[in-house]
Amino acid sequence: MDVIRVSDFIHSTHVILFIFSLLFRSRRKDAKPLPRFNKHSVFWIVASVAVTYYVDFLRTILENDDIKSWWFNAGLVLLGICLSLAAFCMCTLSGSEASSTTTRSIPHPSHHHRGLHFCVIFNIALWPVWSFCTPLILFTQFMGVVMFISLLG
């Protein structure tokens, strides 16, 4: 029975990753950039608009008394923090000089945790209104906003 040492495993992993990077690097040079308007982004934007219209999303958010206000307000605070961190990262990481340097400022992993927290908190806050449809509605809204922002630039 052969014993596999950790150093051999790490070395073989690095070799495999190097080979994959060479393969994908050659494809990246030949690949054309994707157009801004594609089926995927248009689908999510149209789905988000349809969900907003058919579930009366904005009116429900503003006028429904079943929403757990403490959870909703906490979610709004976390959403504001996530959006401000995202705007900061977009401003600092965009541009030619930021993308060409090797020492870039990378968002802290807690940013992703805050994003997950505000999603869960919004689901808790809006669960009494739409019950099992709440995650689907919020995910559709999220994807519509993300795709709309991707169209902007």
| Same-domain status, 27 and 43 | no
Residue 46 shares a structural domain with residue 64:
yes
pLDDT of 1 reads 47
Check whether residue 86 and residue 145 sit in a common domain. yes
Do 8 and 23 lie in one domain? The reply is yes
Pure H helices in the chain: 6-30, 39-54, 57-63, 69-93, 96-100, 110-130, 134-152
**Are 102 and 41 in a shared domain?**
yes
Domain range enclosing 21? 1-31
Query: Which residue is associated with the tokens 């976390």?
Result: 78
Note the pTM of the prediction, 2 decimals.
0.68
124 contacts 68 by C-beta, under 8 angstroms:
yes
Q: What is the mean pLDDT of residues 1-22?
A: 52
Q: What confidence score (pLDDT) does residue 33 get?
A: 67
Three-class SS state of 23: helix
pLDDT for 15 equals 54
Distance from C-alpha of 55 to C-alpha of 126, rounded to nearest angstrom: 13
The residue-averaged pLDDT of 63-89 equals 88
Span 106-138, pLDDT tens digits: 556 666 777 788 889 999 999 999 999 999 999
Considering its fold, how many domains does the chain have in total?
2
Q: Residue 9: which pLDDT band, with cuts at 50, 70 and 90? A: very low
How far, in Å, CA of 81 to CA of 91, rounded? 15
Query: Quick one: which of 57, 72, 17 has its CA closest to 138?
Result: 57
pLDDT digits (tens, 9 = 90+) for 13-59: 555 555 556 555 555 555 666 677 888 889 999 999 999 999 999 99
Is the model's pLDDT at 96 over the cut of 70? no
